[in-house]
Amino acid sequence: MNDHTNVPNDLDSFWMPFTASRGFKQNPRMIAKADGIYYWAVDGHKVIDGTGGLWSCNAGHNNPRIVEAIQKQAASLDFAHNFNQGHPIAFTAASRLVELARDFDHIFFTNSGSEAVDTALKIALAYHSARGEGHRRILVGRQKAYHGINFGGLSVGGIGLNKGQFGTLYPSAVHMRHTLLPENAFSRGLPEHGAYLADELQQLAETHGGHNIAAVIVEPIVGAGGVFPPPQGYLQRLREICDQHGILLILDEVITGFGRMGEAFAHQSFGIKPDLVTIAKGMTNATVPMGGVFATQAIRDAFLQGPETMPDLFHGYTYSGHPLAAAAAIATLDVYRDEGIFENAANMMPVWEDMLHSLRDAPGVVDIRNAGILGAIQFGSEGAVGAKGRATYEKLWDLGLSVRPIGDSIAMSPPLTITENDVAEIGDILGRVLRGK
């Protein structure tokens, strides 16, 4: 019997996502097993999952309550769609999520962060149309932003490499400048300088007419672009400018949702009220794919003016509110609550910050950034761009820590269950690799 814990003979059929596949095949790192904050590779090598399954497994791996909930659901209702019919567990999951989000009354279910972003952008456009403002067609994103890889998210995203192969995307997407400023290097938490960069939105409103802008979307903390927190006051300023012009503010909380910042959502930590929020990843602890868009009552109401026999939004996925995902989401929320996962994150934030910044004098380190249980160490480039990041990633893996290389930086987002000992162990491995000892 194949228990799928060996390196397969065929590494060719699977066209892997975002992967340099020829390099991968030379030395395939293949994960066979997970538990808590650890992964085991097929050869038995144990590593700390310093990426939390790519910013996702906030409660750690293989939590027994989540596993059991998925198993039970698969055995009772494996699948039913939600197009003009429903199943109870999707409604329960929605109520629980809305309760956690506090400022929102509705959630639209998707299957991923990318779908959540495209859904949010479409809701924004349709909202304005429903209110007789169909001229609002401009979507504002930001340099270095990552909003997934579907057409809308890619259009408002700001990572050129991700767009280069695809030509023109959404024709009316414009971008603000990013907020990664050299004068903020080695900031602890939110950097001091740069709130003025939010005025770029004001300039775009002047250039294009604020009344033509539908929405602005930003990650509260930039993740895949290299982990950088917003300058102090930046998000508040964006909110003000949006209000001046009737622009919807969408916060992409696919990474920052579900406790990464010590509260359920980053916008709660920052005291910001967005109009739409995208989520995924930690929503089900990444066990079953699921994403979603939170919407305020005001947004939802705009869609309830048409004939009752017509869908109020011509949008949806076969798997929107899939029973297995809904079961996983409910169990995940139970675990977050009962096991005090967000509280643990809040308690560990200063420990995490201290550990990261203790590496500031290591050779080649030019910046260290952190917020919540997120962090990045930036190196000066050595040779080809990305070579130093990649080499560091490989050395760390060998010593038992998995991180995410992003250009010449490494990013970390471990499960929010980490203890002081875990942070110390991560710090020890980082120190040994970075200091070459």
Cβ proximity to ligand PLP: between 51 and 392 the closer is 51
β-pairing, 46-49 vs 38-41, is antiparallel
Cβ proximity to ligand PLP: between 61 and 245 the closer is 61
Residues in the chain: 437
Nearest Cα neighbor of 266 from 416, 101, 50 is 101
Q: How far is the CB of 117 from ligand PLP (least distance, A)?
A: 5
β-pairing, 276-279 vs 291-295, is antiparallel
Cβ proximity to ligand PLP: between 219 and 408 the closer is 219
Among 96, 106, 144, 147, binds ligand PLP (CB under 6 A): 147
Q: How far is the CB of 254 from ligand PLP (least distance, A)?
A: 4
Nearest Cα neighbor of 285 from 71, 89, 112, 58 is 58
Tell me, residue by residue from 95 to 124, as one string, x for binding to ligand PLP by CB under 6 A and - for no binding.
-----------------xxx--x-------
Q: Three-state SS for 107?
A: strand
Interface positions, 191-230, toward ligand PLP (CB under 6 A): 219, 223-224
Cβ proximity to ligand PLP: between 59 and 224 the closer is 224
Residue 398 token pair:
């060998």
Q: How far is the CB of 157 from ligand PLP (least distance, A)?
A: 9
Cβ proximity to ligand PLP: between 158 and 262 the closer is 158
What is the full DSSP assignment across 141-178?
Answer: EETT----SSHHHHHH---HHHHTTT---STTEEEEPP
Q: Is the Cα dihedral 17, 19, 25, 28 positive or negative?
A: negative
Q: How far is the CB of 158 from ligand PLP (least distance, A)?
A: 12
Interface positions, 271-290, toward ligand PLP (CB under 6 A): 280
Segment contacting ligand PLP by CB under 6 A, of 143-151, 160-168, 265-273, 306-314: 143-151
Interface positions, 236-255, toward ligand PLP (CB under 6 A): 252, 254-255
**Residues contacting ligand PLP: total by CB under 6 A:** 14
Q: How many Å apart are CA 103 and CA 364, to the nearest integer?
A: 44
148 forms part of the interface with ligand PLP (CB under 6 A): yes
Cβ proximity to ligand PLP: between 123 and 429 the closer is 123
Cβ proximity to ligand PLP: between 224 and 249 the closer is 224
Contact present, 153 and 293 (Cβ < 8 Å): no
Q: Using alpha carbons, list the distances in angstroms from residue 332 to 87, 183, 362.
A: 19, 40, 38
Residue nearest to ligand PLP (CB): 113
Cβ proximity to ligand PLP: between 107 and 433 the closer is 107
Q: How far is the CB of 148 from ligand PLP (least distance, A)?
A: 3
Q: Is the Cα dihedral 94, 99, 101, 106 positive or negative?
A: positive
Nearest Cα neighbor of 72 from 293, 289, 328, 279 is 328
Total Cβ atoms within 10 A of residue 55: 28
Cβ proximity to ligand PLP: between 205 and 373 the closer is 373
Check residue 110 and report its DSSP letter.
E
Q: Which residues of this protein are in contact with ligand PLP, per CB under 6 A?
A: 112-114, 117, 146-148, 219, 223-224, 252, 254-255, 280
